[in-house]
Amino acid sequence: MNQKIDFTITKLGKNTVKSPIPYSVEKDKGGARFVSDDEFILPSNTLKEQNTDSLLEKAGPREMIYFNPNHVHAGIVTCGGLCPGLNDVIRAVVRTLWYRYGVQRITGVRMGYKGFLPEYNLPVKELNPYIVDHIHNMGGSILGSSRGGSDTVRIVDAMERMNLNILFTIGGDGTQRGALAITKEIKKRNLNIAVIGVPKTIDNDLSFIHKSFGFDTAVERAVEAVNTAHTEAKSAIDGVGLVKLMGRESGFIAAHTSLATSEVNFCLIPEAEFSLEGENGLLKKLEERLDARHHAVIVVAEGAGQNLLEASGETDESGNKRLADIGLFLKEKITAHFKKIGRESSLKYIDPGYMIRASAANPVDSLYCARLGANAVHAAMSGRTGMLISQWNNAFVHVPIDMAVSKKNCVDPEGSLWRDVIESTRQPARMHD
């Protein structure tokens, strides 16, 4: 994709309201200060890639804001699958609106975008600091979540009826594409409503997002599953532990988990093709591993090896293609192979996906979510719209939604991360003929 890089952030209008936050405008005054509109972050720290004059706008509170806090009615919606940290972001958004800006009309929209649609008849949830005080200790979302429901025209109709001034959309690729469509419909109607996204994609596959919240927790929980598989494998004759992890098109969780444990012998991801049969195929290499060490651990991302299976051709409510189950497929193929060659083997299959998704965030993710939520509020109150909060080059920045969803962020099979995985697992660099 040769889309032009353009990080220009849309604003609803001129900021004429003095921020109620008591920060300094000047540097070196010994306290917290506002972020100036002329502060930017380089899109790349590689000299070769500095081929654009477009810079990433730095996130943070502005001295002058667009909305009068006393007039603001803010809405929050969580969409898509569950992910550790959803409640942490909700909590951060509510507390920043309430305590920093004095916004006291905050509404939670239930069950994703479907909560806007009248046929679902879902009541909204009033939010304040007392309601969200302890929710960061829980997994899931207190607002509930769902896929689909992106009926843009009727969503904006509902927002007008609710008199919303700001909408925070917490979700992944499908959610943010929906938010972009909502932003365009709002502009078409000439409404002054800010739409700010907080990227939630456990696969870490949005562009210009260094790391999405929930990712660290997912890797931590995945490591526990791999350790269990390793113990099972070592305790059996030619034991094999097979763990399926999240990763539809991007194998970041599988790759990071493999590096974090150093117990993984084969890491299979969507970006690196592999074969079952042949001298360089998985089955032959697995035999060689068992010959040498008498146990093996395989980690496979859910989107890996789809070329080996029969696709259904169906899509889910978010528009994602329904994947065939690579985990069960490998379990059956490996078991059948060893039975065919007359070799005793014991395979244990673990799929911790829903346990991971429903986990509460770990401290690293909780901290990250708190900062994402706070910066989302600062962006919204300054009248910015159609954008996401991201961390990039070690700074929190504003990214236009259309840039973030322009292409999938994937593991580079020729890059340093995958090279490190290959060195850790000692699997062949190319596992196909």
115 is in an annotated binding site: no
Alpha-helical regions (H) of 144-214: 152-162, 173-188
The tokens for 195 are 């739409």
- Please report which helix (H) or strand (E) contains residue 373, including its range: helix 363-381
Task: Check 203, 205, 216, 365 and give the catalytic one.
Answer: 203
Please report, for residues 9, 287, 305, the alpha-carbon distance to residue 276 in angstroms, rounded to integers and kept in the order given.
47, 12, 9
Of the chain, the end-to-end C-alpha distance in Å amounts to 29
Whether residue 84 contacts residue 214, with contact meaning beta carbons closer than 8 Å, is answered with: yes
Question: Is-catalytic flag, 238?
Answer: no
Q: Could you count the other beta carbons within 10 Å of the beta carbon of residue 47? A: 6
SS3 category, 15: coil
138 is in an annotated binding site: no
414 is in an annotated binding site: no
412 is in an annotated binding site: no
Nearest to 428 by CA among 278, 294, 312, 291: 278
81 is in an annotated binding site: yes
23 is in an annotated binding site: no
- Please report which helix (H) or strand (E) contains residue 420, including its range: helix 416-425
221 is in an annotated binding site: no
Q: How far apart are CA 48 and CA 66, in angstroms?
A: 38
216 is in an annotated binding site: no
241 is in an annotated binding site: no
Q: How far apart are CA 197 and CA 106, in angstroms?
A: 16
316 is in an annotated binding site: no
354 is in an annotated binding site: yes
162 is in an annotated binding site: no
261 is in an annotated binding site: no
SS3 category, 251: coil
30 is in an annotated binding site: no
88 is in an annotated binding site: no
148 is in an annotated binding site: yes
Nearest to 247 by CA among 205, 275, 210, 216: 205
Angle 106-63-72 from CA coordinates, rounded to 5°:
20
Whether residue 394 contacts residue 180, with contact meaning beta carbons closer than 8 Å, is answered with: no
Residue list for the binding site for Mg(2+): 173
Residues designated as active site:
203
Residue list for the binding site for substrate: 201-203, 246-248, 302, 354-357
Residue list for the binding site: 81, 147-148, 172-175, 201-203, 246-248, 302, 354-357
Residue list for the binding site for ATP: 81, 147-148, 172-175
